[in-house]
Structure 1
Amino acid sequence: MTTPPHLSSQLAVNVLDAHSLLAAFGVLGVGVVMFAETGLLIGFFLPGDSLLFTAGLLCTKTADGSVRLSLAPLLVAAAVGALAGSQCGYLLGRKAGGALLARSRSARLHEGARRAEELLDRYGQAKAIVLARFVPVVRTVLNPMAGALGVPARTFTLWQVTGGLVWSVGLTLAGYALGSSVRGIDTYLLPVIALIVVVSLLPIAVEVLRSRKAAKEARG
C-alpha cells in the first residue's frame, strides 16, 4: 500500500524548519505552532519567529517557491494561536503551580524560567509580559510562571494580548512587506531569518541598556 504524496510530506516534516512546517501544514500549522510554543512547555523548541516571518513572506507574489499562503487567514491563525496559547499557559500555571516545570529535565527550559523571573522582577508585570514575546523559550515559560506567581488575570490578559498581537501580526507583516519589495527573497531565507531573530531580541537589549543607564544615574 502506497502512502499518498501529501501524507508522506506531512510525515516527513521537520518541525524545526519553518519552510518545512509551512509546506506540510500551511496556515493551520502556523496556528497550531503558535499555540504550542506559547501555551505548552513542550513547545519551547518550535521556531516561532522564523515561522511567522517566513509565512508572511510566502503570502507575496514575488516569492518563487511552491508554497503560497493567503495573508488574511494567516494573520488570524497566527494571532489566535499566539493569544489562546498564552492564556492556556497562564491557566495551567495557576492550576499546577511550578510542578510542570519541576518535572522537566531540560536545562534550556529551566534557563528560560530563570530569565522569565528576572524579567518579571526587573520590569514589572506589564512590560515583562510584552517583552517576553520576543525572546525564544522565555515566551513559552513566562505564561505559566505568571500564573504560578499570582499575576492578576486581568493584568496578564491585557498585556499578553497587546504583546501577542504586536509579535504575531508584526513579524508576519514584516515578512510580507519584505517579500513584496524584494523578488526572490525566499531563496535567502536562512540569513534573513537569522536577521529576524537578532531584531526580535532588540526590545530586550534596549530595556537592559535603559535600566543600566537609570541605575547609573541613580547612583550618581
Structure 2
Amino acid sequence: MKEILEIVDMLFNSEAIIAKGGLMLVAMIVFAETGLFFCFWLPGDYLLFLAGMLCGTGTFDVNIAALVGYIFAAAILGNYMGYWFGLKVGGKLYQRPDSLFFKRKYLASTREFFDKYGGKTIVIARFLPIVRTFAPILAGTSHMTFMAFSLYNFIGATFWVGGLVLGGYYLGVQYPQIINYVHWIIVFFLSITTFTVVKSYLKIRESHKKNQPANVSK
C-alpha cells in the first residue's frame, strides 16, 4: 500500500516525474493525459515547462532535441488515441455516470468550445487543462475527418510543445538561478489550471440554470 501511495504522489509531482522517471515517463504522462479520458488529472502544462527548464539548467540530463521529439510524438499519439476512442465508443461517455475520474460536465465544457471554435478547438484545447483530454474524443465522436483532425493535431502539438518546452529551456539556459523558484512556477501553473476549471464549471452551471425553465415549460 505504501508503494502505491508513493507512485500516486509522484504522478502529481512533476519534479519527481522528471527526476525519477526520466524522459520515458515524461512522454508516457503526456500520452496518457492527452489520450485517455480518465487521466485528465495528470500534470500537463507545467510538466512540459519544468522539463524544458530543468533541461536548460542541466538538472535534467537529456538532449533538448530528444526531449522535444519524445514529448511531441507523445502529444500527437495521445490525441490520436483520444480520436480513435471517440470514433469507437465516445458516444457512450454521455451515458456514463459521474465518478472520481470522470464528470459529464467536462464533456459539456469541451462541447462549448467545439460549438464556438469548431475544429480549431483541437489547437486551442492544448493549452486548456481537462479540455485537451476530451477535445480529441469529441472530435472522434463528431466524426471529424481524419485529415482535418491530423492537421489540427500537428499544429496544436507544435505550439504547445514548442512554446512550453522551449520556453522553459530558454529560461533555464539564460537564468539558471530560476531553479530556486520551481515551486513558485508550479503554483503559478496550478493557479491557472484551477481558474480555468472553476470558470468552465461556473459557466456550465449558469447555462444549465438558464435552460432549466425552458425545459420545464415544455
TM-score (structure 2 length as normaliser)? 0.78
The match for 2:47 among 27, 48, 51 is 51
Q: Distance in 1 between matches of 2:146 and 2:82?
A: 12
Q: Does 1:74 align with 2:67?
A: yes
Q: Distance in 1 between matches of 2:191 and 2:13?
A: 17
What is the number of residues matched between the two proteins?
A: 192
> 1:150 and 1:15, CA in 2 relative to 1: closer, same or farther beyond 3 A?
same
> 1:123 and 1:154, CA in 2 relative to 1: closer, same or farther beyond 3 A?
same
Instruction: Give the percent of matched residue pairs that are identical in Structure 1 and Structure 2.
Output: 34
> 1:70 and 1:12, CA in 2 relative to 1: closer, same or farther beyond 3 A?
farther
RMSD: 2.7
The 5 A counterparts of 1:6-45 are 11=7, 14-45=10-41
Q: Distance in 2 between matches of 1:171 and 1:101?
A: 32
In the alignment, which residue of structure 2 is the partner of 1:171? 164
> 1:104 and 1:85, CA in 2 relative to 1: closer, same or farther beyond 3 A?
farther
In the alignment, which residue of structure 1 is the partner of 2:183? 190
TM-score (structure 1 length as normaliser)? 0.78
Q: Distance in 1 between matches of 2:44 and 2:152?
A: 19
The 5 A counterparts of 1:149-168 are 149-168=142-161
Q: Distance in 2 between matches of 1:191 and 1:22?
A: 17
Gaps of 5+ in 1: 1-6, 206-220
Gaps of 5+ in 2: 200-218
Q: Distance in 2 between matches of 1:159 and 1:104?
A: 30
Higher helix share: 2
Cα distance, 1:185 vs. partner? Answer: 1.1
The 5 A counterparts of 1:68-147 are 68-100=61-93, 102-103=95-96, 105-106=98-99, 109-125=103-119, 127-147=120-140
Is the CA contact 1:33–1:46 (under 8 Å) kept in the aligned structure 2? yes
